[in-house]
């Protein structure tokens, strides 16, 4: 039986962060069932951003003539996407781990007892065990779903075939990004969200802005009522029935209704975790609650399920494996949707702040009022800032408009460092830039 100081179950971005320069001197093994590197490089973050880039370029090329949507443009876009996604070949990620002295094991690992795992019939002993198994699609309770050939986001992002029509279930980040890509390449696209607005967990301004963007791109956005049932047709198409609507036929049904931690069937009951636990709960050190030698990173923890969160938690775990007392702080984890233009947020929303019994003030500034927007011809977009009036610090921000995914970092730093509002107001923004909208919104927070 082989023994390692650290065994990581799951070889995605969290594992790669742990195996950086932070755990030198420790023997480490990474067990991965599918692809080293996880889903982000191959079937999620990178291919979706590549397709969004190509979709934006397609809009520029066709100009005011929407009929200029050759299907071979989509094929070329998918070829570029697949190059960026390394053709879903994880060999470079595997090599990167091995060059750091990590033992890589491809297979399905399962806990037998605390500190003991089995993979491919071999038993492996772990001084510390890190669970980094990611997440799975969360399917909606739609009657007949199991009877149709529905697509998940990974299928959309790995096929070269552009469907003639698509109905997308789910108005979260993934659903909105896929809707824009498909529609801009000429697919008749309908996006259905059961909540009253898109991005229901974010500031209402963001959902409204994204609704405008997608509608302008030709997406039929339906909100506020669920899909009752779906059924296969003899033609191979899918019939979608939504409460209060006429039935709708579509070539492709895409399910993008969120994800859930991949925690079942890992044998974590050996650590006292209930078999029906929805996630691996961790403390501020990223240790599983009540455990000394069990850690969790990434989506499996249910904390801010983004690649950058997994990277951050991985660094926290690496430090603690060395004997430090590193503490995770999630107050300023950015949340971005990479549509064109993008929307982004960080910190608390107004509703979350009130639930925390904070006394807040908020301000909104239209980006169209900046000189940069005038120069660029931008007519929509906004910045929303939320402050704790007692502490006089920023606790939340949202932004919709050009470069929002980059500019949100300004607010993230302010929230993380708890910079006083007066100090932020004294900051000088270059002219003309969209960051001037932050300063204008900050002035409104004086009221």
Summarize the confidence of residues 17-41 as an average pLDDT.
93
* Segment 172-187, tens digit of pLDDT: 999 999 999 999 999 9
The β-bridge relationship of strands 343-347 and 103-106 is unpaired
Reply yes or no on whether the pLDDT at 70 is more than 80.
no
Q: Where are the beta strands (DSSP E) in 259-300?
A: 259-261, 294-296
- The domains of the chain are located at 2-38+90-136+260-321, 139-257, 335-444
* Segment 96-129, tens digit of pLDDT: 999 999 999 999 999 999 999 999 999 999 999 9
Distance (Å, whole) CA 362 – CA 368: 19
pLDDT of residue 68: 61
Summarize the confidence of residues 39-56 as an average pLDDT.
97
* Segment 208-224, tens digit of pLDDT: 999 999 999 999 999 99
DSSP bridge partners of 116 = 113, 125
**Domain 2-38+90-136+260-321 shares a fold with domain 335-444:** no
* Segment 229-242, tens digit of pLDDT: 999 999 999 999 99
pLDDT of residue 21: 79
- Quick check: helix, strand or coil at residue 68? coil
- Quick check: helix, strand or coil at residue 172? coil
Reply yes or no on whether the pLDDT at 283 is more than 80.
yes
Q: Which CATH number describes the domain made up of 335-444?
A: 3.30.390.30
Locate 156 and state its tokens.
């959309």
Distance (Å, whole) CA 316 – CA 301: 14
CA atoms within 13 A of residue 287's CA, in its CB half-sphere? 15
The correct CATH number of 139-257 out of 3.40.50.150, 1.20.1270.10, 3.50.50.60, 3.90.1170.50 is 3.50.50.60
Which among 130, 364, 164, 134 has a CA at the least distance from the CA of 252?
164
Task: Render the burial of 356-392: b for 16+ CB within 10 Å, e for the rest.
Answer: eebebebbebbbeebebbeeeebeebbbbbbbbeeee
Under 8 Å between Cβ of 140 and 225: no
Reply yes or no on whether the pLDDT at 69 is more than 70.
no
Which among 367, 316, 371, 359 has a CA at the least distance from the CA of 341?
367
Distance (Å, whole) CA 390 – CA 393: 8
Q: What is the mean pLDDT of the chain?
A: 95
Reply yes or no on whether the pLDDT at 67 is more than 70.
no
CATH architecture of 2-38+90-136+260-321: 3-Layer(bba) Sandwich (3.50)
Which among 276, 17, 254 has a CA at the least distance from the CA of 150?
254
pLDDT of residue 64: 60
Reply yes or no on whether the pLDDT at 66 is more than 60.
no
Which among 7, 1, 38 has a CA at the least distance from the CA of 102?
7
DSSP bridge partners of 110 = 118
Torsions phi, psi of 315, nearest 5? Answer: -70, -40
Summarize the confidence of residues 194-207 as an average pLDDT.
96
H-helix or E-strand containing 385? strand 382-388
Reply yes or no on whether the pLDDT at 63 is more than 70.
no
Reply yes or no on whether the pLDDT at 165 is more than 80.
yes
* Distance (Å) of CA 436 to CA 82, 123, 373, 400, 441: 38, 59, 11, 14, 9
DSSP bridge partners of 250 = 238
* Distance (Å) of CA 122 to CA 111, 260, 267: 12, 29, 15
Summarize the confidence of residues 283-301 as an average pLDDT.
98
State the pTM of this model: 0.95
Summarize the confidence of residues 248-256 as an average pLDDT.
98
Distance (Å, whole) CA 437 – CA 429: 9
Give residue 81's Cα distance to chain centre.
Answer: 18
DSSP bridge partners of 382 = 366, 400
User: Can you give the three-state secondary structure of 312-363, one letter per residue?
Assistant: HHHHHHHHHHCCCCCCCCCCCCCEEECCCCCEEEEECCHHHHHHCCCCEEEE
pLDDT of residue 309: 98
The pLDDT-based confidence of 372 (bands split at 50, 70, 90) is very high
H-helix or E-strand containing 50? helix 45-62
DSSP bridge partners of 363 = 385
DSSP characters over 247-278: -EEESEEEE-S-EEE--TTS-GGGGT--TT-S
Locate 62 and state its tokens.
């066709």
At a CB cut-off of 8 Å and minimum separation 6, what does 345 contact?
A: 202, 203, 206, 334, 335, 336, 396, 397, 398, 399, 408
Q: What is the layout of strands, in order, in the sheet containing 227-232? A: 227-232, 238-242, 248-250
């Amino acid at each position: 039986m082989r023994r390692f100081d650290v065994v990581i179950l799951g070889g995605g971005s969290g594992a790669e962060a742990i195996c950086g320069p932070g755990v030198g001197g420790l023997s480490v093994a990474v067990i991965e069932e599918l692809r080293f590197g996880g889903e982000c490089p191959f079937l999620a973050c990178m291919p979706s951003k590549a397709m969004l880039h190509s979709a934006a370029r397609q809009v520029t090329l066709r100009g005011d003539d929407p009929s200029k949507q050759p299907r071979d443009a989509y094929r070329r876009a998918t070829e570029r996407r697949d190059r960026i996604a390394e053709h879903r070949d994880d060999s470079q990620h595997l090599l990167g781990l091995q060059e750091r002295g990590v033992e890589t094991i491809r297979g399905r690992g399962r806990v037998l007892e605390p500190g003991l795992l089995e993979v491919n019939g071999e038993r492996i002993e772990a001084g510390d065990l890190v669970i980094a198994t990611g997440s799975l699609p969360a399917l909606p309770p739609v009657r007949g779903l199991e009877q149709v050939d529905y697509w998940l986001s990974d299928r959309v992002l790995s096929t070269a075939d552009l469907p003639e029509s698509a109905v997308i279930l789910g108005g979260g980040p993934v659903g909105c990004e896929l809707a824009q890509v498909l529609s801009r390449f000429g697919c008749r696209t309908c996006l259905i969200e059961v909540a009253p607005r898109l991005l229901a967990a974010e500031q209402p301004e963001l959902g409204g802005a994204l609704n405008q963007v997608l509608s302008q791109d030709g997406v039929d956005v339906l909100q506020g009522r669920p899909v009752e049932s779906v059924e296969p047709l003899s033609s191979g198409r899918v019939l979608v029935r939504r409460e209060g609507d006429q039935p709708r036929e579509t070539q492709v049904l895409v399910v993008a209704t969120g994800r859930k931690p991949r925690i079942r069937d890992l044998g974590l009951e050996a650590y006292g975790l209930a078999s029906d636990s929805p996630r691996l709960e961790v403390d501020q050190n990223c240790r599983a609650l009540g455990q000394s030698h069990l850690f969790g990173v990434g989506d499996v923890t249910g904390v801010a399920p983004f690649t950058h969160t997994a990277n951050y938690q991985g660094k926290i775990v690496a430090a603690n494996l060395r004997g430090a007392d590193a503490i995770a702080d999630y107050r300023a984890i950015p949340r971005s949707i990479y549509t064109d233009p993008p929307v982004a947020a960080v910190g608390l929303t107004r509703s979350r702040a009130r639930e925390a019994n904070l006394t807040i003030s908020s301000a909104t500034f239209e980006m169209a009022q900046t000189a940069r927007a005038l120069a660029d011809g931008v007519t929509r977009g906004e910045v929303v800032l939320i402050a704790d009036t007692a502490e006089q610090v920023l606790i939340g921000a949202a932004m919709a408009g050009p470069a929002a995914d980059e500019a949100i970092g300004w607010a993230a730093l302010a929230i993380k460092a708890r910079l006083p509002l007066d100090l932020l107001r004294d900051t000088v923004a270059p002219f003309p830039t969209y960051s001037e909208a932050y300063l204008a919104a900050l002035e409104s927070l004086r009221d």
